[in-house]
Structure 1
Amino acid sequence: MIATGLAGKVVVVTGGAAGIGKATALAFAAEGCRVAVWDVDPRGEEVAAACQNAGGEGRFFRVDVTQASEVEEATSRVVSLWGGVDVLVNNAGIVRDGQLVKFKDGQLVGTMTDEQWEAVIGVNLRGVFNCTRAVAKVMVPRGRGVILNASSVVGLYGNFGQTNYVASKAGVIGMTRVWARELGRYGIRVNAVAPGFVKTEILASMPPKVLDEMVSHTPLRRMGQPEDIAQAYLWLASEAASFVTGAVLSVDGGLVVGT
């Protein structure tokens, strides 16, 4: 096993109450980290308790990442509790799918609404900005830190019916590259992970036929598990990746669009 060098580190995981965020929080806890679970979902309390059982420490903070004031307050509380932040995992994200414009029999029957656009951009893009800005102010004076952002394979290639989601995930890649340039001089590494189709609650509501089609497009012929993504975050945060910054790591089972 590769030594991660993460024992005792303070890790913030946004959207940590379920899915990839939960798996990520537990993975860091298993390395002996102190994990702050940020979410609006009260199940984050259970995840924080599970972090304790996994071998680390865990605390739940109710945080709406779209609200800068809540993010700043939560950051201050983590610093007061544990002295700083070593790793930020910007995992929180939502979907509100819809076609830009939808026609049937030559007639306009729907569009992506302002509400759908604003909701996704608010969480997936502004939320990443809010959290990174708050935590970077803590990391810079300490001269070290790791920031990991959740993008998506669709942020690289696009996807039907997801203008808002694709825009947010492509934007995350752009911000990752900017921050890697800006923050590298302070010893802070910034990377993104681009998951493929991962078995989470979001996909659980999809028809089996759609899920089967997703698998058929994935060369490894299976969907990803939350733990697959969590392990990617763990590696990027570890000493093993100490010279990696500004990268976008695809964790997608070899997904090739259109195959």
Structure 2
Amino acid sequence: MKLKDKVVLITGGGSGLGREMGLTFAREGASVGVNDIRPESAQNVVTEIERAGGKARPFVADVSSSAAVRKMFADFIAAFGTIDILINNAGIGRTRDTSEVIPTYQKTDEEWHKMLATHLDSTFYCTREALKVMIPKQSGRIINMGSVAGTTGLAFASDYCAAKGGIIAFTKSVAREVVAAGILVNCIAPGFIDTPMTAFIEGEFRQQLVAMTPMGRFGEPSDIAAAALFLACEDSKFMVGQVLSPNGGYVI
């Protein structure tokens, strides 16, 4: 097992990519903290992991809140004693309950701030707390979830692209800062993946995205979990500040 006796915290772990990473990491021997803002979602994934013979605990918190993150980490360290791997995965795909695209000039202040807080602020808050544990022990892995939206840009998603682009730049900065402390920080920038977050993409719009992807399909959550496992284990011991982008050729 590639992660035997390691302790991992996955934000947004109650569904989609977070759920898949949690199941994958548990199979590889890690103890998994499953964070989600929805108690039932976090508990459902914990139950899945435990039924498969793994070890996991739920941690319910809104990671866009600094105070909530501090409390979550205190609870996490009390439960597991340390943190070896942090995966900053929490995110949202849209700020309105509609599949309609929202032009930049129609986005509200509240929508802009919600998108950046959910993605970028949470990545900073969780990274800051994890480093307080990782730096003294001179080891750790941090994996941030970017997106092709942050590498190539997507029309009508300026808030989402800004958040993901910020995460990529944040990754590179922190990676340089803490590599000497034995901590490796990297980023994954997925293309379009079949998850609950992309379920609203349907019809002609979905067909267009598939047509723009040379592999001719959306990716699967396991494609991203495999990349995360690589970055979390010793196979990637010479990787630092990098952006892995499993995207089916959408960005080459």
TM-score range, shorter chain: over 0.9
The equivalent residue for 2:45 is 47
| 1:89-168 correspondence runs (5 A) | 89-96=87-94, 98-101=102-105, 111-168=106-163
Q: Do the aligned residues in 1 keep the contact of 2:224 with 2:246 (CA within 8 Å)?
A: yes
- Alignment identity in percent? 40
Q: Once structures 1 and 2 are overlaid, which stretch shifts more, 211-220 or 200-209? A: 200-209
Contact 2:59–2:76 (CA<8 Å) still a contact in 1? no
Instruction: Please tell me the root mean square deviation across aligned C-alpha atoms, in Å.
Output: 1.2
Q: Structure 2: how far apart are the matches of 1:226 and 1:252?
A: 12
**Is the aligned partner of 1:195 residue 2:195?**
no
- Please state whether the residue corresponding to 1:23 is helix, strand or coil: helix
User: How far did 1:84 drift?
Assistant: 0.3
Counterpart of 1:17? 14
SS of the residue corresponding to residue 184 of structure 1 reads helix
State the one-letter code of the partner of 1:86.
Answer: D
TM-score (norm 2): 0.94
Q: Is the 8 A contact 1:191 1:236 kept in 2?
A: yes
Contact 2:8/2:32, CA 8 A, preserved across alignment: yes
* 1:107 paired residue number: none
Partner Cα separation in structure 2 for residue 166 and residue 48 of structure 1: 31
Q: Which moved more, 1:45-54 or 1:236-245?
A: 45-54
The residue number in structure 2 matching 1:106 is none
Provide Cα deviations, 1:75-100, integer angstroms capped at 9, x if missing partner: 12211211100000000011236211
Q: Which amino acid aligns with 1:176?
A: T
* Aligned positions of 1:238-253 closer than 5 A: 238-253=233-248
Retained in 2: the 8 A contact 1:31–1:55?
Answer: no
The structural deviation recorded for 1:208 is 2.2
- Secondary structure of the residue aligned to 2:156 is coil
TM-score by length of 1: 0.92
C-alpha deviation, 1:207, in angstroms: 2.4
Structure number with the higher strand fraction is 1
Q: CA deviation at 1:147?
A: 0.2
CA distance in 2, matches of 1:153, 1:8: 33
Runs of at least 5 residues in structure 1 that lack an aligned partner in the other structure: 102-110
| Structure 1 counterpart of 2:98 | none
Pair 1:55–1:239, CA change in 2 (3 A): farther
CA contact (8 A) 2:191 2:245 kept: yes
Shift in Å, 1:8: 1.2
Q: Is the 8 A contact 1:19 1:226 kept in 2?
A: yes
Secondary structure of the residue aligned to 2:210 is helix
Q: How many residues align?
A: 245
Contact persistence 2:35–2:42 (CA under 8 A):
yes
